[in-house]
């Protein structure tokens, strides 16, 4: 195996592990960083070297440029891979790496500034005549200004944080009356999350599908696409189910080609280096509009890896090492789906992290699980509550959906239990929601729009009122055969009562 | 003659033998019909073998405020589930029912469902609120979340102020019946 120089992975959790695996396969030694909360985490255990970079809060550790660069220096790292989130889209971090003599695995600071900032990106795509959603020309600073723009483009409109991502600092506004309080809320959220309260306003597209194009650039003006992903199924504006190919584009193959063309055109124009994603919104008639570019590896990149057979992280690393020639566009085969398993309430989608007792994630043919959890531990309140990404491949979409159903039925994520099987702690997961999702007729048909969850209340409704006969019998036998069951006296007359707790928020 | 009997939801079940142990077979009478059922417990719950098929269920118990164990029951290889099912011996049912109604009289406690920071308090003590009215804005996991009234009532025992950090389960306020 070829010996290469060490890669510092400036991240944690499943993505740090995923990057480390490819590093090891290619002969790059792995340097991990960790916060107080991650001392015993899996991404640290599998690394060749590990450096402490501060307290549990991201600001003190995974966003702490000085200590991260210190770790890179001390470990003799040559490369820094940022993963996604944290410092992955901060141009100043790219420059800090370069100034420290390190190679940042990703695009240049300049193309990051051109495409990573939403307002700059709009100017760039406008100059190349790529269509985008009507909206404010630049940053909107006051609610009154936002109101004037909203009137001119028509309600409903969307308020979005200029520095935002992942739905943070984003609000839908249906009327002039709601705008002012929504603007204030979004600004406050954006200020606390990103340190920047700038907003912009845009028209809300009806019957929207979220479709994104994966590109890869060589940094010298060459770029190719690696197909698309549809991520229309979202809760709280965050993706929960991603797939390729996009069912909506199967209805509009010309739109697919036009989107590939647009994405590659822009990537070449900014001399993009490495993996990047162009996010578009596609309406029910096959019109597409540019939304934004993510200048990093995406959470949902396994979907693309399944259909193309390409290890995107290997391409990133080899490009950074100067050993990469852009190949021709890879052929895409079959259908892949990924779901995100979160520590959250399956009805409200509010985060519900906490101690973890038992975790059993699906495996088997054509099933991939990306996770940093392997046993009892804790889903920390300090970081993103994602527990795992489960992805599957099938020769057809139908086959992939069926495989995903089996995978989700196999999964178990449980808080710790004390005697009599009673759970301890606050951990809940969206697994019940995902199991409903994979059985939903609209999801099975593939015609999903970004409002799927709002328009299908049965996905998040409380469970059925009346227990089935089999369920009732199982409950009786479960209780009666329990060692410390409530009824140890065989002659008891007993009853079950289904009672709702009133105070669950 | 039935040895042990009871009711689960709308189903009246009479067992002809006391079921014991991790697996076994028992006769159960339901709606005047006798059915053979085999069961096998496992780490997550129980499997049943019935004349019309095989069914598995996961059980997840939680101890609620009143000390009773509430089960969430989910059917395996299905998305069906039933929540907040609790088991009571004879005579306890009426007791629990009265405890519930007196609980409502004392008012509904609003608790934080996760750790975070209260960024806004939208109500004042003594204020009458409708169901679903936002009570607090809480920042947690970098998101702003509204905490809404689960029922209408009068706000009392307001325990938090703006800017305060709270832990899971922290008491925020009480809604007295209007």
* ipTM value > 0.90: no
Is 70 exceeded by the pLDDT of residue B3?
Answer: no
Lowest-confidence pick of A96-110, A391-405, B30-44: B30-44
Strand order in the sheet with A157-161: A170-173, A157-161, A199-203
Model confidence at B24, in pLDDT bands (50, 70, 90)?
Answer: very high
Contact A301, A275 (CB under 8 A): yes
Cis peptide upstream of residue A329 (ω within 30 degrees of 0): no
Question: Residue A487: what pLDDT?
Answer: 46
Residue-wise pLDDT for A246-261, tens only, equals 999 999 999 999 999 9
Among the ranges given (A78-87, A406-415, B130-139), the one the predictor scored with the smallest mean pLDDT: B130-139
- Buried/exposed A412-449: b ≥16 CB within 10 Å, e otherwise: bbbbbbeeebbbebbbbbbbbbbbbbbbbeebbebbbb
Percent of chain B scoring above 70 in pLDDT: 85
pLDDT higher than threshold 90 for residue A107: yes
Catalytic residue among A296, A340, A397, A428: A296
Note if A296 is an active site residue: yes
Cα–Cα distance for residue pair A216/A223, rounded to 1 Å: 6
> Contact B30/A477, CB-based, under 8 Å?
no
Distance CA B14, CA B30 (A): 7
Contact criterion met (CB below 8 Å) for A19 and A60: no
| pLDDT at residue number A500 | 35
Query: Token pair of A458, please?
Result: 């049965």
Binding-face residues of B in 79-138 toward A, CB within 8 A: 79-90, 93, 96, 100, 103-104, 108-111, 113-115, 119, 137
| Contact between residue A271 and residue A108 where contact means Cβ atoms under 8 Å apart | yes
Nearest Cα of chain B lies from the Cα of A423 at a distance, in angstroms, of 5
The reported pTM is 0.81
**What per-residue confidence (pLDDT) applies to A268?**
97
Q: Which residue has the higher pLDDT, A83 or A207?
A: A83
CB contact under 8 A, A472 and B9: yes
A177 phi and psi angles, rounded to 5 deg? -65, -35
Q: pLDDT band at residue A139, thresholds of 50, 70 and 90?
A: confident
Amino acid B114: pLDDT? 76
- The residue that leads in pLDDT, A122 or B64, is A122
Average pLDDT rounded to a whole number, residues A395-410? 98
Q: How far is A351 from chain B (nearest CA, A)?
A: 7
pLDDT of A503 > 60? The answer is no
CB A51 within 8 A of CB A32: yes
Cβ <8 Å between B84 and A499 = yes
Pairing mode, if any, of strands A79-81 and A7-9?
parallel
Positive or negative torsion for Cα A216, A398, A231, A337? negative
Domain B107-176 CATH assignment equals 2.40.50.100: yes
Contact at 8 Å (CB) between B38 and B53?
no
The whole-angstrom separation of Cα B7 and Cα B13 is: 6
The DSSP secondary structure of A162-224, one letter per residue, reads TT--TTTTEEEE-SHHHHHHHHHHHHHHHHHHHS---EEEEEPPSS-EEEEEEEEEESSS-EE
| pLDDT score, position A420 | 63
Asked if the peptide bond before residue A245 counts as cis, ω within 30 degrees of 0, the response is yes
pLDDT, tens only, B73-84: 999 999 999 887
Instruction: Tell me the pLDDT tens digit for each residue of A59-86.
Output: 999 999 999 999 999 999 999 999 999 9
Domains and CATH numbers, chain A: 7-105 (3.40.50.20), 134-203 (3.30.1490.20), 207-333 (3.30.470.20)
Which residues of chain A does B147 touch, with a Cβ-Cβ cutoff of 8 Å? 505
Q: Across residues B19-28, what is the average pLDDT?
A: 91
- Using an 8 Å CB-CB cutoff, list chain A residues near B100: 499
Pairwise CB contact (< 8 Å): B6 & A420? no
């Amino acid at each position: 195996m070829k010996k290469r120089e060490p890669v510092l992975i400036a991240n944690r959790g499943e993505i740090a592990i995923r990057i480390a695996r490819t590093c090891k396969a290619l002969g790059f030694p792995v340097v991990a960083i960790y916060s107080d909360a991650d001392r015993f985490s899996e991404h640290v255990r599998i690394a060749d070297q590990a450096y402490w970079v501060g307290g549990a809060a991201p600001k003190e550790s995974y966003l702490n440029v000085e200590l991260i660069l210190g770790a890179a220096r001390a470990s003799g790292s040559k490369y820094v891979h940022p993963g996604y989130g944290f410092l992955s889209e901060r141009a100043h971090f790219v420059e800090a790496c370069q100034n420290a003599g390190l190679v940042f695995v990703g695009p240049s600071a300049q193309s990051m500034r051109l495409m990573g900032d939403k307002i700059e990106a709009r100017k760039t795509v406008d100059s190349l005549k790529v269509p985008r959603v009507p909206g404010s020309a630049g940053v909107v600073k006051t609610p009154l200004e936002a109101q004037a723009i909203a009137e001119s483009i028509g309600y409903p409109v969307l308020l979005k944080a200029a520095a935002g991502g992942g739905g943070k600092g984003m609000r839908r506004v249906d009327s002039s009356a709601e705008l002012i309080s929504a603007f204030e809320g979004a600004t406050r959220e954006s200020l606390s999350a990103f340190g920047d309260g700038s907003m912009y306003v845009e028209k809300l597209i009806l019957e929207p599908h979220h479709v994104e194009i994966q590109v890869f650039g060589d940094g010298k003006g060459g770029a190719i696409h690696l197909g698309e992903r549809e991520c229309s199924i979202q809760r709280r504006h965050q993706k929960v189910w991603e797939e390729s190919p996009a069912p909506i584009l199967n209805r509009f193959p010309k739109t697919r080609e036009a989107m590939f063309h647009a994405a590659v055109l822009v990537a070449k124009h900014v001399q993009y280096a490495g993996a990047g994603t162009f996010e578009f919104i596609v309406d029910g008639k096959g019109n597409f509009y540019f939304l934004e570019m993510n200048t990093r590896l995406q959470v949902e990149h396994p979907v693309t890896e399944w259909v193309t057979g390409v290890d995107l992280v290997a391409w990133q690393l080899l490009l950074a090492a100067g050993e990469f020639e852009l190949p021709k566009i890879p052929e895409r085969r079959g259908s892949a789906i990924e779901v995100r398993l979160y520590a959250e309430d399956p009805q409200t989608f509010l985060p519900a992290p906490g101690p973890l007792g038992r975790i059993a994630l699906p495996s088997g043919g054509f099933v991939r699980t990306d996770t940093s959890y392997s046993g009892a531990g804790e889903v920390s309140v300090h970081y993103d509550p994602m527990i795992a990404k489960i992805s599957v491949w099938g020769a057809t979409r139908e086959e992939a959906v069926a495989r995903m159903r089996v995978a989700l039925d196999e999964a178990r994520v449980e808080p710790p239990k004390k005697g009599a099987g009673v759970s301890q702690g606050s951990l809940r997961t969206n697994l019940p929601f995902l199991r409903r999702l994979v059985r939903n007729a609209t999801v099975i048909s593939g015609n999903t729009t970004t409002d799927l969850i709002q328009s299908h209340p049965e996905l998040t409704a409380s469970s059925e009122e009346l227990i089935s006969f089999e369920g009732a019998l199982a409950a009786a036998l479960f209780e009666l055969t329990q060692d410390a069951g409530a009824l140890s006296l065989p002659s008891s007359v007993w009853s079950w009562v289904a009672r709702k707790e009133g105070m669950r928020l | 003659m039935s040895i042990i009997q009871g009711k689960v939801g709308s189903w009246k079940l009479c067992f002809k033998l006391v079921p014991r142990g991790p697996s076994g077979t028992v006769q159960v009478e339901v709606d005047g019909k006798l059915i053979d059922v085999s069961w096998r417990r496992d780490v997550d719950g129980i499997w049943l073998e019935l004349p019309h098929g095989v069914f598995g269920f996961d059980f997840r118990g939680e101890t609620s405020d009143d000390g009773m164990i509430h089960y969430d029951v989910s059917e395996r290889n299905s998305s069906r589930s039933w929540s907040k099912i609790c088991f009571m011996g004879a005579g306890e049912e009426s007791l629990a029912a009265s405890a519930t109604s007196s609980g409502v009289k004392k008012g509904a406690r609003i608790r934080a469902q996760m750790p975070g920071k209260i960024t806004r308090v939208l109500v004042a003590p003594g204020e009458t609120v409708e169901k679903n009215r936002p009570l607090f804005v809480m920042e947690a996991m970098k998101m702003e979340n509204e905490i809404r009234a689960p029922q209408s009532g009068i706000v009392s025992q307001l325990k938090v102020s703006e800017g305060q950090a709270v832990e899971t389960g922290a008491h925020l306020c009480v809604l007295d019946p209007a």
